[in-house]
Structure formats: structure tokens, C-alpha cells
Structure 1
């Protein structure tokens, strides 16, 4: 036995007549102590993989000791691994045991060279296609895939974030895609792990964020009859995914990954791969696929006729305005330059908040329910709307009666809800480049920049008046977001939840260049903290985001959805500051009940001290209840290099 590797599995403190599971390298072993003897065998019962180390030692035939499996009662001789007969001739693999100076050692054969698997080839292909991050939970039906990801992580080619709930992984990946335009992956087990992804996958789909879902599945031999955690994942994901395929032994495995990532990137959508348990560890010699030669140019150019028509409409307008949405992020600088040339206001949809800093002379704030009276006034006064990368959501309330130029790279978005004056199919940046030398300010129009300054002065005076309304129930939202406006870094990445806290953020927070992420068209509560986790991961994975502070905002209802992810933030040292507005209520729903003349019912909440909760999780936590206390508390939290939570007792009526 001199060629064995002797691995310590701990002190020799197992009582007589007992068994337990120990680990030696990657092996799980059933260790037993009986009649003054020590023995070790493979921990997995050959019947259904039951954990023998959780079983018992019992006297069997002729007083002989046997290890009994806790699942179905199969017995094995601890010294030979053989059953007493009748159900498994091969028995169990046994290992030599030695006790040295009160420590137990198990002899293992030298570790064989790793056999490259199907999931190894697929993980290598993911790396080639630029998948840098996996959010997920390791479990029994994804262990082969998880091991392939582990190897890529240990090689420094990927990073992994283990979450507490798969829904948080989905929101984190969605926010990662919204921020970077690149897909992250989500790893789950079969059944409930996979279905827990669906809300976040819908968030990604409707907001056009690329995501790659990787779900485990039961073994192929038990598909269909109703095995434990066997559900039809292809059907479950059919509506939410642009691409969904099951990985089989006959599949072209690396091609499936290539198509999945390509669909996510080009279509800005969800791709899904299903990994049956037995397929994950099958050997593969197939080389990893690469994206070279698989992607064409991405720019859709508007037609010359459309450009000429747009130039004519702009030349005739005396009060043009730009309305820009989230789809215009990549053309920020070009749009602002056009607005400066025309002397035109730039207002944004809520999803586009931050596209132009509110401190810019051309900025008019957010349009719609979450917006400012400035934006609404200029939309009502304008004689031409230039709508770039925005839909006509009822929450935004773009005026349908005004002459409108709409530009979008997705053709189905043009005139989606009603006809527009000039729909233009093309990339927004390309549109800006083609008209920039052909437009100028109309000399007959008013000085809209001066009007903007005047309107901002009026709105800021109104916000100051609202600060004086604060009563005994907690801080006014105007005070909370005035404080955050003062101290948030200009390049911060801000993830917002849904609810009154979000409406108030849109209305009162003044951007200086921050990037805002939200659950836009889905409007899902609970998005804030998991999205911040995704944004933080992006700051680790992309050089241009490195060092940027991540801030998340929620109400008490939203935070409660994924509160335990605070421990995830602590585990990975995530530099996230969470601003929590606490009013013991689902305030937005209460408000809707009142406005609909319903009684307020079942919107009250019972909450802990969230600051104390954050501290118990290992994060920084601070609690304030007055508007004048908020700025110092946020500044203190922002100075923490790690997870921090500011709990602000707020008045749900002062929004």
C-alpha cells in the first residue's frame, strides 16, 4: 500500500458502533468504528445513491456487523463492502484505514487525470463567447455542470456568485445584461430551482437584456414518467426564451452553446440550455467553439429618404424636444450634441433616467408618472417630438397628437401603439451621425434653454417647500432623495426597485451622470438588491466599470423579497450601499386602493429593524427617522468599502 496517498479525514473521535460521512479529496466515504475496528467504504449506496454515512451499524447474520443504508435498508459488510446476499453482487468499494496519533487516515489511489466532459467543452465554449459571470446555486442535478464551471473559475476564466434564491440570480443576471449588453449565466437545479428563474427571465426579456439560463434536469432515463423534480422545462421556458434546447448525448454540444449565446447577444433576449444529469459527465473530445466568423456587423443604417424627411421636419420646428428611452444608452453623447445644436430640451422616460445629467442645461428630467413637471410642460409646448429608443408606454404618457419622429433599431417598436409622423428603422447612433451636419437651430423659435433654467428654478423651489411638510411619521421622500442627490458619486450605478420609493426617486433625485437600472416593463418588486449584486459583479468583470460605487434603493416590501441576499453581499464583499425606505406598508398599493375608492386592505407589513438585520448579516447598518439625518447617514454608508444598509423611517403619504 506504499503507492497510496494517505489523506487525513480528522480525529479518531467516532464512538464505537457509529458511522459518519467524511471527505477525502473529492471522495465522500462512509467511515465506521465497531468492535475495536475502523473501516471505510464508498458513501453512495448502489441502489439509489443513499448516504451510507448517515446510516447505522446493526448486528446481522450470526452476530456480524453490517452498515444499513438509511434510505431503503440495504446492508453491507463494513470490512469487505459485500452485502449479505440477494440484491447487489458487486458490493461497495472499500478503502484501507490507519489511525496514527489519534488521527484517521484513508488510503486513496493517486488521483487519475481528469477526463474532459461534455460540460467541460460547453463551459470552455462559454468562455470563448465572453461569458464572464455565473450566478447560481449548486445542487444535485447540476453537479457535473457545476464542476465544469468550477474548473473555469479556478483557471481565472470565469467568476461565480453563489446566491440564496434562484430568483435573485435571475434579477442579478438581468441587471448585468442591462448594464453591460453582455450575458451572464444563471445556474440552477431541475424542477423548482429552474422555475424560480422565470420572473427574472421575464424581466430580462421584456427589457431586452441578454441572459443565459443553465438548468439541471433529471436523468434522461426517467424523463416523462414523473420522477422527483422532473418537469417539462422546455415548455416552462418556451415563452420566455428566444432559444431553448436540451443537451443530449447526440447533440453537437459546443454548437448548442454557440447558438445560445449568439441568440442572447443578437436578439437581446433569454437563451436556455437544459442539462440532464447523466449527460453532464459524459466524455467529450470535441474542441471548444469560438465566435469568430459567427457575428456580422451590428449597425442598421436609416435610409437616405428617411434622413431627408427627418431633417425637413426638424428644420420646420420652432420648439423641438428629444424624448429618449433606455434604448438610447449607447448614443448618449451623440444625442446631447444634437440637442445642444438645436437648443432643444432632452427629456427621458423613467427607464432612460440618467441618460442626460439633470445638471446639463438641456436636461428636462423624467416624463410621466415618475417624472417632473418640467418634462411634462415642454412636451405639452413642443411642436415636434424626436423619440429615440423609447416606447410609448402608458406610464410615460408621450403625447400621441404631436408631430413625432421615432427612431428604433427594432422595427416592431416603430408605431407599435399608434401611427407616428415619421417612423425610422435604424440604430440611433447612426441616425444622429447622419443628421448632425444637416440641422441647425431655428432662429424663429424661443430660447428653450432659458425656459429650462426657469422651470428648474420653479421645481426646485417647490421641492424646498415640500421639505417643510415633514411630520412625525418619518422623513419626506423629497428630503431622502435630495440628500442622495448631494452625496451619491456622479458615476454611481443605481438599481431601483418598484413602489412609491421608485416614483419618488424618479421625481426628486437629480442625476449627475449616474447609470440607473430598473425592472422596467415587468415592474417586479424585489429587483433592487439582486440587481445591485449584478451591477457589482459587472464592476469586477469589466474594466470600464471598475471602481464605480453601486447603490440600490427599495421600500420595505421590496427588500423583504430577497433580504437574505444581504448575506451574499457580505460573503463576496460586495461594495453596495442599500437605501431602504421603511414605512411598514406596501404604500403604492395602499395609494391605488384609495384612488380606486376601495378600502385599504392587507398592505400593512410587520418588519424587523433592517439596520439591525444588516448588522446581523455582517454588513454595516444604520437607522434614521428625520430628513435632516439622512445625508450624513448615507455619506457614512457610502464610505464603507463593502455592503451597507441605510434604513430610513419614511412617511408613506409624503411622496
Structure 2
């Protein structure tokens, strides 16, 4: 097949689009070799559970249905009443959606008995199992039916295979894979059909790209003989997703599937992680593969370590600093380095500020926590950066918070600690870069700095000077703001009160998945995170609609924790249909909807910029009744005093719940005035 389109220089959909060079395989784990069966067993619904290799029923083994009804209408091949969508793919009498006869299943005749042979779709599922991929999130489509059938057959036969979760929108599928990747460091699959299914997937894929979440997107495509001409629902998916994937490709040969899947998962989990994409035409998915075609077994990749010289250089800078400050980003959480960061801060008496996606890197109850930095306006935390003579950036990602906000003249001395070298930016020019696994680097650096320290009275003065970064007017001011607002008994409820009550209702390791909107500002500034990965905020791509699908994924990862989807009324209704998914699979999440009947963040910005809002108001359904239509318990406080006990009741329900909170966003403008006063001070 051609790999380019002639003199135009355009690369066709059939070529590998691009790949990235990375320093290590962050998400790889040691795996033992398996030999999947070459013959599919009895078939079953793709949502059916599976049994783990040990013989014990795994966490993904049960699909719950509150209604007790089947979760899909799938039937085994050959079963009567299988429907025209299935028949059009298997019976040449029917016409498929692209205007031609649907291909028949590959088959062989042995002794007069027709048997189905192993297909590329089955090989693909075996490769997913070899990667220990736990979930495939998707909306079923005609061009992915062979893959769905292979997933169902593997589940019925109790062979290793991902659990299939049917979602109500492809964006929800991608967001679930996105948050799963952020919480686990492993890639799940978000799958869609061609055309409109793929375009629906793109927002979630882009979110994973800028939020640094591993994910493998798989899209179906029309048969290969249609891709050179105009055809029903056919667009060039590979070119479409190129800007938001680390690597993506079109499958031309079924023999290449093991290599393609291995590369897709490897690149997705390499630092910095992100989405990859595989496009599989339906005719190739149904094609037979050789009996000896087998998955490639993942290996283990280790990070390089900073040199002793680099460690010594950084240690000298820190020991000489009077007022160092740590800026911790999402890389700390991704690399599970929060314990080492906390020990580093305690050992050297260094205050820590975190980015929005770095919340939980330090316990916000610690006197060394400056909490989060990330607003475009000046906030209390920026005063700490003004005073700092050295900024130690640990797992910091420029996509979240531009260095020009905290280092506008580019003159700060910077130590860069991350899994990858520093990005080029005029306001981010580290004196030394420590590139390697973050936890090990922090341990070595702490050990190197401590002998360089000073003792006695001078040491006490040095520690006191460092801690004044926190106690002068920064941490205290934030805590006073939270305490003042949380004491309000007004209805609508103030954001400060809503945040304080949510924190009080949850245990330290319970999880909040925030949507994007005005509420995100309040969550990032004032919600205190005690443990790593307990506050999930999209702040790279910052896509609305992520909270409910993301909370479902968080509940799948941590079924024993309480999980809250915190959203505005705008973001909630973008993916509220996933309430049905939560109910069907038994993901007992609590959705907290801040209601203000408008796009509050844009209203806030319009008032600041133009003095008036326009085009931001909308109507809403009765959210309690809406939840109840899904069989979900709904709650709405009639006073501010009712909110905390109501949250606790909702969290204790054995099933998904929804709490509608009327919110007073007049506090947004009061915050603007407060921050404006800080900027003018």
C-alpha cells in the first residue's frame, strides 16, 4: 500500500504517524510469559466477568445491575434472533453501513464440521491480556464487533482478557481510561467505532495527552478496500488524532498486531505518559492469523540516575540557600514519590507549594504546606515565590502553570528534578537538572544536603527563616479565608462552606474528582488534600465533563474508598448519562453538583474583563428528580446547616447518589477583589 500521497507530501492514513523518543518505560512492570489459547472458547457478552490466573474471582469479575436485567443484548454467533446489525456483518444477503456486503467470518471445514478460526481481533485481545490491560471502555460499534466478540469469548472461556465496560458516550469511555491511567500508571483501552465514534473519543484522548495519563485508544475503521475513496462515515482518524497522541498507527498487516500493541502500551507509559492510538479496519479484524502468532511479552525498564556530580551541585545550591521553596507537580504523584518529597521537606525545613494536579504530594495539614498555586491572578502563595532565593521544582510540568507566573524576569535560581529533562522556556532555566526516578533522586539529594548543613544557633535561625515563608501571611491567610467562609449559614451556600463540609465528610484517603469550572478554583485553593492521588483535577487540557466518568474509573481502581464527582451544573450535564453506567456496573460514586444555572467561570471572567456577562445563563432540570429517574437517590439541602449531614448520608448509601448544592458564586467577585488587593500591595 502507498505510504504517501505523492508530490503534496501528505502522509496517508496507512503509515505510522509518528513516535516519540523517551528516557524510560515508566509504566512497565515485570510480566511472566503466557501462551493464550489459539482457539476461542464459548462466547459470552463482552461485559461478562473473568477469573484471575490464580483461580480467584478478580475485582473485574462481576458486573452489577441494579435492575437485574442483562447489561447487553449480545448473542452467541449462530443464535436465532441475532439482529440485523450482526447479520449484516456475517451474512452477505445483508448490506453493511458502508454500502457493500458485509464480510463473512473466516472459517475452515474439518471432517465436514465447520469451525471458526482464530482471527486478528482474537490476537488483539490476547495482546491486551499480555499487557495486563484491565479494562476496555467503549460504545459498541459495527466496525469493532469482532473485537467485542473476542472479548466476550475470552471472558466466557475464563481466559485472561480485559473487562469490557459499555459506556453511554465515547467521551465518557476516554475519560474513564484517562483517570484510570492517572491513578494506576497503567494504560486502559478506550475504544470506538469509526467516524462519529472516533470524533467523540478525541476530547478525552486530548485530555490524557496534556494531563499526562497513559491510555491506548483503539478505533475501528471501514474495510481496507474503501479507504482510498469517499465512503460512508470514513474520515482519516490517524491524521485527526496525531496532534493529541504520542504515537499512533493504522494496522496494515495482521502479523504486525503483536508489535503494534506492545509499542502502543510501551509508548503510552513512557515518561511523560500519554495516549497512543491503533486504527484497525474491520476486514483485517475478521481476518485469520497464523497459529504461531503470539503477543510480545513486556519487559522491565529502569530509569537512569543523576550523576554524583549533579547531585553534589544541587546539594551545594540548597545548602547555600536562605529561602528555598519546593514546587511539586503531578510527576511526584505519577512516580509515587510523595513519601520521599515529604521526608525531604521535613529534613530540610523547606516549604512546599503544589500545582493543581500535584495536590496531595504534601499533606496540607503540615505546617510546611503552602497548598496549591495555579491561578492566573495573584494569590497568597506567589508571595512565597517572591521571597524564595531558590526554587526546587519536583515533577513540575510547565503545561499546568507557566513559569512566567512565578518567575517573570527569569532570574530565579532553579533546581529541576524530574524523569525527563527540562522544557525550554525563557522563564525556566535550571542551574542543574537531576533527571531520573524522582523518589530515588530525592533520597540521594537529602542525604547529600544534610552533611553540608550548619549546626547550633545558625541552624535554628536558618530553619526559622525558611519557615517564615509559610507563617508570615501565606498559609495562615488561606486557612483564615476557609474558616471565615465555612462559618456562613447563608443559602445559597458559599463555596468555602461547600468545600469545608465536603472535606469533613470524607476520610483522608477518599477521592474527589473535580470537573472544570468555577468550582475547580475553589477546590484547588481550599480543599485540603491529605494523601496522594485523592484530588484529581484536569488542569493540562482542562476538559469539562470529566468528573463523573473519572469518578467511575476511580471507584473501579479503589472500590473500598468513597469517591466523589464534584462538578458544576454545566459540566455535569455534558456527561450525566454515565449515571446509568455507574448504576449498571455498581460503581457507587456520589455526584455533588454545584448549581448556579450558568457557566459560572466564564461569567466570572466576563465580569472581570467587560463588567457584564453575556451568553452564560441556562436552565436546569430538577437534579434530584433526574437522579431518581436513573434509580439513584438524590439529595438537596434546604439550609446550609443540612449540607454536612446530608453529604454523610449520601456517602453511606449502598449505590450511586447525587447531592445538588445551590451555590453562591457572588464569592467569586469577592475573591477577585481580595486577589486584586494582593496584587496592588
Output the TM-score relative to the length of structure 1.
0.80
- Label 1:627 to 1:421 Cα distance change in 2 as closer, same or farther (>3 A): farther
Query: Counterparts of 1:210 and 1:510 in 2: how far apart (Å)?
Result: 26
Higher strand share: 1
Q: How does 1:372-387 map to 2 (within 5 A)?
A: 375-387=381-393
- Label 1:187 to 1:286 Cα distance change in 2 as closer, same or farther (>3 A): farther
Query: Counterparts of 2:241 and 2:581 in 1: how far apart (Å)?
Result: 27
- Label 1:325 to 1:341 Cα distance change in 2 as closer, same or farther (>3 A): same
- Label 1:287 to 1:549 Cα distance change in 2 as closer, same or farther (>3 A): farther
- Label 1:632 to 1:282 Cα distance change in 2 as closer, same or farther (>3 A): same
Structure 2 match to 1:403: 413
Q: How does 1:374-453 map to 2 (within 5 A)?
A: 375-392=381-398, 393-394=400-401, 397-399=405-407, 400-413=410-423, 415=425, 417-440=427-450, 443=459, 444-447=461-464, 448-449=466-467, 452=470
Query: Counterparts of 2:344 and 2:422 in 1: how far apart (Å)?
Result: 25
- Label 1:598 to 1:283 Cα distance change in 2 as closer, same or farther (>3 A): same
Structure 2 match to 1:142: 144
Q: Secondary structure at the match of 1:654?
A: helix
Query: Counterparts of 1:430 and 1:44 in 2: how far apart (Å)?
Result: 55
Structure 2 match to 1:270: 275
2:658 counterpart of 1:654: no
Deviations 1:52-71 (A, max 9, x none): xxxxxxxxxxxxxxxxxxx9
Contact kept, 8 Å, 1:414 with 1:423, in 2: the verdict is no
Q: What is the alpha-carbon root mean square deviation over aligned residues?
A: 2.9
Say which of 535, 539, 543 aligns to 2:554.
Answer: 535
Structure 2 match to 1:631: 644
Say which of 251, 259, 283 aligns to 1:247.
Answer: 251
Structure 2 match to 1:483: 501
- Label 1:486 to 1:370 Cα distance change in 2 as closer, same or farther (>3 A): farther
Deviations 1:168-192 (A, max 9, x none): 1111111111111100001111111
Q: Secondary structure at the match of 1:595?
A: helix
- Label 1:417 to 1:207 Cα distance change in 2 as closer, same or farther (>3 A): farther
Deviations 1:439-473 (A, max 9, x none): 2365142524477467544433333333466655x
Query: Counterparts of 1:409 and 1:305 in 2: how far apart (Å)?
Result: 18
Higher helix share: 2
Stretch of structure 1 that moved more, 596-605 or 630-639: 596-605
Structure 2 match to 1:117: 119
Structure 1 match to 2:624: 611
- Label 1:128 to 1:503 Cα distance change in 2 as closer, same or farther (>3 A): same
Contact kept, 8 Å, 2:569 with 2:596, in 1: the verdict is yes
Q: Secondary structure at the match of 1:161?
A: strand
Query: Counterparts of 2:640 and 2:376 in 1: how far apart (Å)?
Result: 21
Contact kept, 8 Å, 2:529 with 2:535, in 1: the verdict is no
Query: Counterparts of 1:172 and 1:50 in 2: how far apart (Å)?
Result: 30
Structure 2 match to 1:551: 564
Contact kept, 8 Å, 1:476 with 1:651, in 2: the verdict is yes
2:497 counterpart of 1:497: no
Structure 2 match to 1:542: none
Q: Secondary structure at the match of 2:165?
A: strand
Query: Counterparts of 2:88 and 2:230 in 1: how far apart (Å)?
Result: 29
Q: Secondary structure at the match of 1:578?
A: strand
- Label 1:424 to 1:223 Cα distance change in 2 as closer, same or farther (>3 A): same
Contact kept, 8 Å, 1:23 with 1:29, in 2: the verdict is no
- Label 1:225 to 1:347 Cα distance change in 2 as closer, same or farther (>3 A): same
Larger radius of gyration: 1
Structure 2 match to 1:507: 525
- Label 1:395 to 1:648 Cα distance change in 2 as closer, same or farther (>3 A): farther
Query: Counterparts of 1:651 and 1:25 in 2: how far apart (Å)?
Result: 54
Q: Secondary structure at the match of 1:141?
A: helix
Query: Counterparts of 1:246 and 1:158 in 2: how far apart (Å)?
Result: 22
- Label 1:489 to 1:47 Cα distance change in 2 as closer, same or farther (>3 A): same
Deviations 1:219-262 (A, max 9, x none): 11222322211111221122222222222345422222112111
- Label 1:640 to 1:247 Cα distance change in 2 as closer, same or farther (>3 A): same
Stretch of structure 1 that moved more, 597-606 or 131-140: 597-606
2:375 counterpart of 1:369: yes
- For these two proteins, the number of residue pairs brought into alignment is 561
Displacement after TM superposition at 1:272 (Å): 1.1
Query: Counterparts of 2:198 and 2:74 in 1: how far apart (Å)?
Result: 29
Contact kept, 8 Å, 2:490 with 2:639, in 1: the verdict is no
Displacement after TM superposition at 1:631 (Å): 0.8
Query: Counterparts of 2:488 and 2:499 in 1: how far apart (Å)?
Result: 15
Displacement after TM superposition at 1:417 (Å): 4.8
- Label 1:112 to 1:512 Cα distance change in 2 as closer, same or farther (>3 A): farther
Displacement after TM superposition at 1:505 (Å): 0.9
Query: Counterparts of 1:24 and 1:322 in 2: how far apart (Å)?
Result: 57
